Amino acid sequence: MLSEFDLIKQYFVQNYAADSRIALGIGDDCALINPSPGMQLAISSDMLVSGRHFFPDADPYHLGHKCLAVNLSDLAAMGAKPLAFTLALSLPEANPNWLLPFSKGLLDLAQTHHCRLIGGDTTKGPLNICITIFGELPPGTALRRDAAQVDDDIWVSGTLGDARLALAAYWKELPLSPEDHRQAATRMHTPTPRIELGIALRGIAHAALDISDGLIGDLGHILESSKLGASLFIDRLPAGPVLRQQSLEQRRTFTLAGGDDYELCFTAPVHQREAVIAAGIASNTNVTRIGKIEANQGLRLLDDNHQTIKLSLQAFDHFTSA
């Protein structure tokens, strides 16, 4: 059995090139960060618990990727640039067949985003992975949930629903061909944090968040914080490539309520439409305009003929009845 510090050294300490932003990394009682002069820190934590947020036998490389991706996604949703992160890990055993791919999945994505692992804690116990991430942004530019304004357009990045579709197939709620299932599951296992888009939207978007629980619920957080309502054009919601081939009802349900996509939902004034599209192009990310912020509270779902749709799903009720 590896000692705790040997384990950290073997799997998590990297030979990094000097980075002036990180004054001290793993090894001392604290790490030391130098945020760029005049910048504000953005900080977020996410805990992933085996059996609750992922299957106990989940592919460890994918799991490493996903644990960091969901944290990076929180930075993206504020418009923050990643700096560094810490990892608190509870492990049932020091199994190299798990630790090696897990640390690789984690550190590969960290390298992509120049976001260094600077510390953490390691203990024996049920598998539980908690990451705290640090980012930076100019003061006053954060894309906050309470900043939506009446008449803002509502936008979403990428596509929605494929992650939830993969889960539905795992749970045998519906059939998918093995190839479709594999393609959809990629979205569930290896979400893409929209860091570049978030940064490009500073000064353009008003409110933003990342979609982890499903569009309706998460947009609801913006509406609640901003004390406003909205209309969504549900047939404009961009479905993932696999979901696009399913029935209209499934497309609507999974784009509206499917979680785990980690796309950004944001609002921006009408006069910024071209700037939003330019931000999408600059960050190589599709953006789709899906609705409108309104003074009238509650969430209204409209079809292409501007008719109100009532969906039977219970979770939607308190939004559609407004």
Query: Per the annotation, where are the binding residues?
Result: 29, 44-46, 53, 74, 120-121, 145, 210, 212-213, 260, 316
Residue 121 within binding range of ligand ADP, rule CB under 6 A = yes
Residue 28 binds which of ligand ADP, Mg ion, none (CB < 5-8 A, kind-dependent): ligand ADP
Residue 119 within binding range of ligand ADP, rule CB under 6 A = yes
- Residues 39, 136 contacting (CB under 8 angstroms): yes
Between CA 145 and CA 79 the distance in angstroms is 12
3-state secondary structure (DSSP) of residue 227: coil
Minimum CB separation of residue 7 from ligand ADP in Å reads 8
Between CA 89 and CA 272 the distance in angstroms is 43
Q: Which is nearer to ligand ADP, 117 or 223 (CB)?
A: 117
- Please give the annotated binding residues for Mg(2+), written as ranges: 29, 44-46, 74, 121, 210, 213
Question: Which residues, at least 6 apart from 57, have a Cβ–Cβ distance to it below 8 Å?
Answer: none
Residue 121 within binding range of Mg ion, rule CB under 5 A = yes
Rg (CA), the chain: 20
- Residues 145, 225 contacting (CB under 8 angstroms): yes
CA angle 66, 68, 69 (to 5 degrees): 60
Minimum CB separation of residue 122 from Mg ion in Å reads 7
Question: How is residue 241 written in tokens?
Answer: 């490539």
- Please give the annotated binding residues for ATP, written as ranges: 120-121, 145, 212
Between CA 264 and CA 290 the distance in angstroms is 12
Residue 151 within binding range of Mg ion, rule CB under 5 A = no
Residue 120 within binding range of ligand ADP, rule CB under 6 A = yes
Of 122-181, binders to ligand ADP (CB under 6 A) are 122
Q: Which is nearer to Mg ion, 90 or 320 (CB)?
A: 90
- 116-124, strands of its sheet edge to edge: 40-49, 128-137, 81-91, 116-124
Stretch that binds ligand ADP, among 33-41, 118-126, 219-227, 265-273 (CB under 6 A): 118-126
Residue 27 within binding range of Mg ion, rule CB under 5 A = no
CB nearest Mg ion: which residue?
Answer: 121
Question: How is residue 317 written in tokens?
Answer: 């009720």
Residue numbers of the site for ligand ADP (CB under 6 A)?
A: 8, 12, 26-29, 87, 89, 117, 119-122
